[in-house]
Structure 1
Amino acid sequence: MVLASAIVLGFVAAWMLASGVLMHGRGIRFRQALLYLPLKLIYRIEDRALIQARDAEAPVIYVISHQSRLEPALMLSLLPDQTLHILDDASAQAFWLEPWRELGRTIAFNAEHVFVSRRLVRVLRGKGRLAVYLPDTVEPDVKAFRLFRAVARIAMQADARIVPIFVSGARHLPFSLAPAERAPRHWFQRLRISALAPMTMAELLQRAGYSQTTTANALFDRFAEARLAGTDLDRGVFGAMVDAARRYGPSQPIVEDVVSGALSYRKLLVGARVLGSRFEAMSKQGEAVGILLPNANGVVLAMLGLISAGRVAAMINYTAGAANVASAVKTAAITTIVSSRAFVQKADLGDVVAAAEQAGAKIVWLEELRDSVTTQEKLTAALQWSRPLAPQDASKPAVILFTSGSEGTPKAVVLSHRNLVANAMQAEARISISPKDKLFNVLPVFHSFGLTGGTILPLLTGIRLFLYPSPLHYKIIPDVARKIRPTIMFGTDTFLAAYARTAEDGDFSSLRFVVAGAEPVRAETRRVWRSRFNAEIIEGFGLTEAAPVVAVNTATHGRDGTVGRLLPGMRMRLEEVEGVAEGGQLWLTGPNLMMGYMTSDRPGELQPLDGWHDTGDIVSVDREGFITIKGRAKRFAKIAGEMVSLGAVEMLVQALWPEQRHAAVAVPDKRRGERIVLVTTAGNADAEALRLHGKQAGATELMVPHDIIKVHEIPVLGSGKTDYVAARRLALDQLGLAA
């Protein structure tokens, strides 16, 4: 009895002592510390971000992402005791939460009636503090978005500061509010609390980066940034992959191709470690090693193997032609390229391989590496699958990609681990995805959209990934889609239009949505996919330098004809362009912006990005924050002193001949400086009909091409973008202006 009493007393004393330490370390009351301590120990909570949140000057509104039943207990334990917590009915009545409710002031609210604004404004004006729990949704419906409007209105009226709070990992707790199939449960899930700096609504509106936005959108964007802040970007690509494996299950099938079948997280990381050990032996730390492989399991294994070994994966665009591949090898100072004999033979890439070798690269064949792997290597890798071969530094380069070259010579874009993970998580904070989804990626991994969005994003978020080797198999891809039943697909307008022409009505019926980028989505393509497959095309915008996604529409925040709204964590500014009345040239900054370029005149040397990046795109932004691409700065023709968007010309022509493809290019003109030439697949294209259509559409005469060149196919790059260099060369040849 004495021993038992001593044990109990010792336990109580230890609890009291630990609570005292916690009280002083976090600045909370002793009662709060007593109830917070068990949560802190069980979930190993990283909570230092709450210190700044507690010290925020009143009036202040804490906006908390309500992912599980635990957030109210955490916030009642950690926020100042004078904070008024606005709880949902379940939290206000839960019997187990009663001890925590005694720590502060709480009221229940009915979501149907939103908030009693005047009473809350009075509380805040009296130097009060509110804690509001908003639904955990990245795509709020109309009902949920009313809450953002209400909070923004209250904050404006009371001139209160906003502090968004996100508890990373909470949605995977046993008492998560998300369905189990969307968020696998873990009893002892580690939690990380992130809280952003206090800002008033006026400050949030000012930092939007464009002339106008709504208060609700400004708050919604700030709230999404808190979700992004919950990601540990210092873990790097490999560390984030291991975290995903543990979160969704090491045995969970995650990637699949048409040849070798499915791989689980564990098998993927075991294979990557085996290959990585071989890459270590043939290259130096930090060296760029080329990957010349199609969309298949092997390309993911090779990339992760190089990253695990501390090497940089340089993704070779084998569709760019022998000359561009040789240029890429020299620009990135690549001395070793990983490829596959079977792939090179099947894709007839002998000239590309020869050009790479002539440029100084040695080819290492995956088949030979695979055949030489010993049983001991496999066992060692199986035991240490979660450990990288070399120390990982998220600030160091992870991959090198090459710009498309649609307007000139390709450049090497160097992306860090932090760039890639940040962009994947920015997309996750904007688009509603979950492990219930299956992503069908036909875009090549050497293209930034196919790499980050089509490969890294699903691997980090537990989405089953199906890789297909070529987007050009227009007749086969619809058949594959019918068999594998994907819910998400990535593509470009060129590819999507081609698939629709060969598909049967049920082939893409499993899709929830299609994410399209790289080029504008035509209204005809959008109409066909809606009417035939009941699939919404979500248009986005990106560039290789941004890893690549910059903006995207969503199901609840979408607007046809735009590329959506800026991703969380990014900032933009518009600079005036001579001759452009509406909008300006887009400059960007954010955690996903590249480390810098490598160029052919300074091979292997990183030229760091200095602050903001000039995208070269002319855009306009409406008051809701939706971005409309007017065209590339290089894709404006200067005719008789006026700037004319070649992209706008293409849209004008597309409205007249919607089922055909068109490219507008500018060529020299002695009298007016430049003139516009239309390259088109429309066999019935006629200059007079185009002139009349332009007049009816209200287009200026300068926008109407007088020269029309008819072709069977518009030149395209491997990424699906129109090859404007080739199209302009074709126009110059046809018009006798090449000299």
Structure 2
Amino acid sequence: MMDYQLNVPAILRRADELYGDREIVSRLPDKSWHRYTYADFVSRTKRLAVALRGLGLSDGDRVATLMWNHHEHLETYVGAPVGGFVTHTLNLRLHPDDNTYIASHAGDRVLVVDKVLWPLATQFVDRVGFEHVIAVGAGDTPDGAIDYEELVASGDESAFAYRDLDERSAAAMCFTSGTTGLPKGVLYSHRALALHALTAAYLMGVNEGDTILPVVPMFHANAWCFPFTCCLVGAKQVFPGPHLDPESLLEAFEQEKVTLSAGVPTIWMGILQALDATPDRWDLSAMRSMTVGGSAPPRAMLEAFGERHGLKIVHGWGMTEMCPIGTMSGGPGQELGLSTEAMYDKRAQQGTAIPFVEIRARGADGLVPWDGTSMGELEVRGPSVSSSYFEAPEAADRWTDDGWFRTGDIVTIGADGYVEIQDRSKDLVKSGGEWISTVALENALMGHPAVAEAAVIAVPDDKWSERPLAVVVLREGAAATDGELRDFLAPSFAKFWLPDRFEYVDEIPKTAVGKFRKTALREQFASATPVENV
């Protein structure tokens, strides 16, 4: 067999040869639309790669991005690794101190930043000391920065050549959220991205006839590999820019006839509320699937989309350390022969491992059986799983002695290989020596008609060591008492699982990628005096 390098240049070359007439659409800050073809994208990406080399960059140098989802970000996403460099996405929702640390630790030499995000960039740019800052979009270019369009225009396309880059060299970089300790960098190899793009296309059935709108930011967990997957198969790409409110997204879904989208549960909960409010307003007949990831979705939400609006949600689980997809539920062939109830039950679970990812779970006494009830920490391995963090030897204990990655997720695995996450190891409630899953309680609570969002945390208890406390956001105009919510949960859970306390808030604090920030809730409520809502 030929020693063919699985790399990003091979993905771009395929797009170059086969998909030149396919469209890439971006929504700009002023809500106007930018349209061009894959042929335009490929040409500009080649020129960008040449121009970056002209700035003095060498193979392996990091090119940081601070941008919304749009065509220029796609050009950088692909152009940097095609040129032999490493795309390093910075999270625009992080504190400037975090981005200062992340960019400095990564050794970023260049920053490509949206002009509309320049006020954010100024809070850390000087502290990092980038050699070059490249400003993207309409408007004045900040002093000392290079205008992106001028840089692309300066690249000589005739000087570009597809390189046979080593598939095990670095292509992209992303840092974990750093919910415990400092953020840690993950370097993605060309090989990992190529295999993951091919696998994602198979799992979600993505092909040239699709129109894909990734709501998931390109700075979040490698954008779930959509940029590379779409380029590999020639799917039309639609980027929402900074407009992530439900109405703007629904407008884009309808106008561009989007067939597949992807985002975290909070995005889809907002979409669901908008559809429920005006069910006949939007034509989403082209939409065949919506992928939810980032955290476990409530079963009630999956069922509401399906039964009230005829829309299918596919559930994926993964991590930054996994490129990021690890398991999928609701994919092709997974629901054959299931009743409607069983289908939603399965779809709310995290699904089976994707091809070339292996799973196991470890409890206190060793590996646990695949019986659907025994809980243990999920461990994974595969060609798209990181084998270490970037220059972080202190975190080597995240890998077992035989090389499996410890995810930190407590799961059960069924006899059919279906994974169901019970909790993050740090979020489980241990009450009287028994484990209580906060995720299960949260998803059940969000099935109550009065509840918009719910997060469950452990709080100290003199008798039981810890007890569950539920923090609830009620729907606008709705009401519920502690007793009503406890009674709603009672048929599905053991009595000792039921929360002793309920706290009602206007909003649950979230991380930069839309997950519940439970550290903030624990600080707020762990020692607060309970007030019962009767």
Query: Taking structure 2 as the reference length, what is the TM-score of the superposition?
Result: 0.83
- Other-structure match for 2:468: 676
Give SS of 1:497's match.
helix
The corresponding residue for 2:389 is 597
Partner of 2:516: 722
CA distance in 1, matches of 2:452, 2:4: 44
Give the structure 1 partner of residue 83 of structure 2: 309
Question: Which of 454, 458, 469 is the equivalent residue of 1:662?
Answer: 454
Match of 1:319 in 2: 93
**Is the 8 Å Cα contact of residues 664 and 678 (structure 1) preserved in structure 2?**
yes
Tell me if the contact between 1:551 and 1:567 (Cα under 8 Å) persists in the aligned partners. Answer: yes
In structure 2, what is the Cα distance between the partners aligned to 1:608 and 1:287? 27
Aligned: 1:699 with 2:494:
yes
Q: Taking structure 1 as reference, are residues 662 and 467 closer, same or farther at Cα in structure 2, changes over 3 Å only?
A: same
CA distance in 2, matches of 1:617, 1:681: 25
Match status 1:517 vs 2:304:
no
Q: Distance in 1 between matches of 2:152 and 2:51?
A: 12
Q: Does 1:446 align with 2:219?
A: yes
Q: 1:353 aligns with which of 118, 122, 131?
A: 122
**C-alpha RMSD of the superposition:** 3.0
Equivalents in 1 of 2:357, 2:491: separation in Å? Answer: 40
Compared with structure 1, are the counterparts of its residues 519 and 451 closer, same or farther at alpha carbon in structure 2 (3 Å cutoff)? closer
The Cα of 1:537 is off from its aligned counterpart by: 0.6
Say whether 1:485 aligns with 2:257.
yes
- 1:442-463 residue CA offsets vs partner (Å, 9 max, x unmatched): 21001126241x3221111111
Q: What secondary structure, in the 3-state scheme, does the structure 1 residue paired with 2:172 have?
A: strand
Q: In the alignment, which residue of structure 1 is the partner of 2:318?
A: 542
**Which of 63, 71, 74 is matched with 1:300 structurally?**
74
Aligned partners of 1:288 and 1:334 also within 8 Å: yes
Residues 475, 430 of structure 1: alpha-carbon distance in 2 compared, 3 angstrom cutoff: closer
> Could you tell me which residue of structure 1 aligns to residue 140 of structure 2?
none
Partner SS for 1:481? helix
CA 1:321–1:599 in structure 2 vs 1: closer, same or farther (change >3 Å)?
farther
8 A contact 1:279–1:305 mirrored in 2: no
Task: Note if contact 1:550-1:567 (Cα within 8 Å) is conserved in structure 2.
Answer: yes
Q: How many angstroms apart in 2 are the aligned matches of 1:695 and 1:233?
A: 58
The yes-or-no answer on 1:686 pairing with 2:481 is yes
Amino acid at match of 1:613: F
Instruction: State how far apart, in whole Å, the 1-side matches of 2:167 and 2:528 are.
Output: 50
- For 1:596 and 1:269, how far apart are their aligned partners in 2? 33
CA 510–407 in structure 1, closer or farther in 2 if over 3 Å, else same:
farther
| SS of residue matched to 2:262 | strand
- Structure 1 CA distance, aligned partners of 2:122 and 2:469? 36
Aligned residue for 1:598, secondary structure, equals coil
Q: CA deviation at 1:407?
A: 5.5
Which residue is equivalent to 1:147? none
Deviation (angstroms), 1:238 = 1.9
Shift in alpha-carbon separation, 1:451–1:662, aligned structure 2, 3 A: same
Aligned residues of 2:44 and 2:152 also touching (Cα < 8 A): no
Partner Cα distance (1:552, 1:400) in 2: 23
| Deviation for aligned residue 1:636 | 0.9
Structure 1 equivalent of residue 284 of structure 2: 508
**Unaligned runs of at least 5 residues, structure 2:** 137-145, 336-345
Aligned 1:501-650 pairs, distance under 5 A: 501-503=273-275, 504-505=278-279, 506-553=282-329, 554-558=331-335, 559-577=346-364, 582-598=374-390, 611-650=403-442
Cα deviations across residues 344-386 of structure 1 (Å, max 9, x unaligned)?
15xxxx24532243244456123434353486x45x31x466x
Distance 1:629 1:654 in 2: 17
Looking at CA atoms only, which structure, 1 or 2, has the larger radius of gyration? 1
**What letter is aligned with 1:340?**
D
In structure 2, do the counterparts of structure 1 residues 655 and 573 end up closer, same or farther at CA, with 3 Å as the change threshold? same
8 Å Cα contact 1:513/1:537 also seen in 2: yes
Q: Contact 1:577–1:585 at 8 Å: present in 2 too?
A: no
- Structure 1 residue ranges without an equivalent (≥5): 1-47, 49-191, 193-231
Distance 1:669 1:484 in 2: 53
- Report what 1:235 is aligned to: 6
Shift of the 552–596 alpha-carbon distance from structure 1 to 2, 3 Å rule, reads same
CA contact (8 A) 1:619 1:627 kept: yes
Alpha-carbon displacement from aligned partner over 1:278-318 (angstroms, at most 9, x marks no partner): 32224333122211111000111112221122111111001
Residue 566 of structure 1, CA deviation: 1.2
Distance 1:734 1:337 in 2: 44
C-alpha contact (below 8 Å) 2:450/2:479 kept by paired residues: no
Matched residues in 2 for 1:401 and 1:359: separation? Answer: 17
Q: Structure 1, residues 502-560: CA drift from partner, whole Å, max 9, x if none?
A: 24433422201111111122223223322343221111111111101111121431333
Counterpart CA distance in 2 for 1:733 and 1:429 is: 49
Confirm whether residue 328 of structure 1 aligns to residue 122 of structure 2: no
User: What secondary structure, in the 3-state scheme, does the structure 2 residue paired with 1:234 have?
Assistant: coil
- Count of residue correspondences: 491
SS class of match (2:284): coil
Q: Distance in 1 between matches of 2:121 and 2:520?
A: 19
- 2:168 alignment partner in structure 1: 395
Cα distance in 2, alignment partners of residues 735 and 472 from structure 1: 37
How many Å separate the matches in 1 of 2:289 and 2:211?
A: 11
Cα shift at 1:647? 1.2
CA displacement, residues 20-47 of structure 1 (integer Å, 9 cap, x when unaligned)? xxxxxxxxxxxxxxxxxxxxxxxxxxxx
**Taking every aligned residue pair, what percent have the same amino acid on both sides?**
21
Residues 326-352 of structure 1 deviation map (CA, whole Å, 9 limit, x = unaligned): 2212332324311122x215xxxx245
* C-alpha distance in structure 2 between counterparts of 1:374 and 1:698, whole Å: 59
Q: Structure 1 length as normaliser, TM-score?
A: 0.61
